[in-house]
Structure 1
Amino acid sequence: MDLNNKKVLVTGADGFIGSHLVERLLKEGCSIRAFVYYNSFNSWGWLDALPKDCLSKIEIFAGDVRDPNGVRTAMKDIDVVFHLAALIAIPFSYHSPDSYIDTNVRGTLNIVQAAKDLGVERVLVTSTSEVYGTARYIPIDENHPRQPQSPYSASKIGADAIADSFYRSFNLPLTIVRPFNTYGPRQSARAVIPTIITQLLNGKSEIRLGDLIPTRDLLFVEDTVNGFVEIAKSEALIGHDCNIATQSEISVGDLAQELIKQINPEARIITDTDRLRPEKSEVFRLYGANEKIKCHTGWTQNFSLSEGLSKTIEWFRNSDNLKQYKADIYNI
């Protein structure tokens, strides 16, 4: 599919990956409707940080993916849907699992139901590497068993299943996109890299973290959104799920030491028990396979971990960006 001049809806456009995807799709020549979460502050999330010339090209739709009527209105006259809206914080899913079912499962149902009824040409539903749980083998390919090790991952497994059922039942032209551990500018403090960077840049000499043993497959956000675009262009991936991964891993401890080395070599790590996941819930190893995306698209990884971390640190060093983060609290 050629995305140029396509009318595109991005749900979760106000979020970390969504805002970067909007910027990327503008470069593809898309006409974009950005679905943002309605709030009384009239905040458009990270879209507010985009240059005015970019914002002037975007149609903003404020709503809630849990509302089928709003979803249907947002999707009128749309050719392609990138569905990213979700609740994603794992610790908060222990606290409020009902909200994850409502947003992630019900919200995805609303998207695919409207897409079917309105004849949308292409739907991309965003999954997560957390659906795999701790690796049973590496690299983790798309056939790896699903393991719901948190209410969040369970909700995303459910959302994936709903999406897949609409392809199989109604031939909805759909792909499940499964990024591994995306990081970069604008990521929320609930993720490990912003957690470390914001503590270091705020002068902390003791960096509070949870378990240092788990490994992650870390993907710079520009590589992630390029993956979304390449998958959308591929007819061969309709009816499939597809990883976006670097096919590499690094432990949280080694990652923290690399960031400490770049920002404040005098800092040290201390374990904060409040940040530890329940033992059976912790995903100890994520190491994704990228053979499928490379086989069916032109995607390649453009940023090494070192390059991506450097660009991320540079963004956080800007005081206007850093002040938006509360380094003194544990963001669940």
Structure 2
Amino acid sequence: MKLYKFLFIILFIFSNDLWAAQITKTFSDISERDNSELIWNVLTSKLLPPIYIRNYDDGLGFKNLDIDPGDGIHGDFTIVTYSSFSQNSDISGNIIRINTDLYTQLEFQNFILEEGWTLRPIGTQPLNIKVLGDMVINGVIDCSGSDGQDLNGNLNIAPLGGEAVCGGGSGGDGGSLTSSPQSGNAGGNSVTGGAFGPVISLTMGQGGGGGGAYGDIGGGKDPKNGDDSTGGIGGAKGTQFTDDAFDEIGGGSGGGGGSIYSNSSAGLDSAGGGGGGGGGVIKIIVLGDVTIGTNGKVLANGGNGGGNNTGMRAGGGGGGGGGSIAIYAAGDIIND
């Protein structure tokens, strides 16, 4: 009898359900964001393609521009949050005093400036605002330079030049017995401030020159120097610089201070007027629409030079140069 050996191999197969891990991204929290060319819009919870401007002609050749709309980190800019961005939470007089040295970039989800309110920066850096949604301007955004102080009859006190904000150049002080008139300060690398009025004419004080500015290619340069028309030739005007492409971020330059008149003439002797401050720089980037209401304004004017119409003979201050405003919108720009 033969014995047979059998090898029994029993396989036990265990079957279990396997579940894939689930990951949900809401795109509402920028803390998990990584580097990417896509735009993470926390407002719409969507990834958007990058924004490019290609081959546009600014009159000096073709240019390319990449636009960064920000990430909305500062939330909504509405009447409820105005005080959060105003210096020391001060919104007295319905003025929002944003310090651009502290907020060099403001990145909002939506922006609404209500009618009757003014956004008036107090810093030296340009005003940069980025908005992921829509922007509505029913109030006033104002980066204008201040006016220079008028002539005065106290020969020992020099009228001050106008202050500047948002990258503009301040105006030069007027001349007095204790100090010479000052030229305006430059608002950028390619423009100069107005020169001060030449010191003392026997007949009249001499006015300061107007501040330089960044102009567009269609605008001609003002060929005239500052001039009080009766006195001397006045201080030289500041230079202008054509920059349609907004390649250089610079504001307007300040006007020069006027010179003193001191000839022992009662009622006529006076200290020269201060130059006006140059307008600042405003740069706005919006992914949605920009609506500027009936009473809405975006300003970067140069300030007036200090003067006087009561017969004083000192030179008036030169006016400040206008600043720069650029608005980029992926949607429409609507001016009501």
Q: Name the larger-Rg structure.
A: 2
TM over 0.5: no
> What is the TM-score of this pair, normalised by structure 2?
0.23
More helix by share: 1
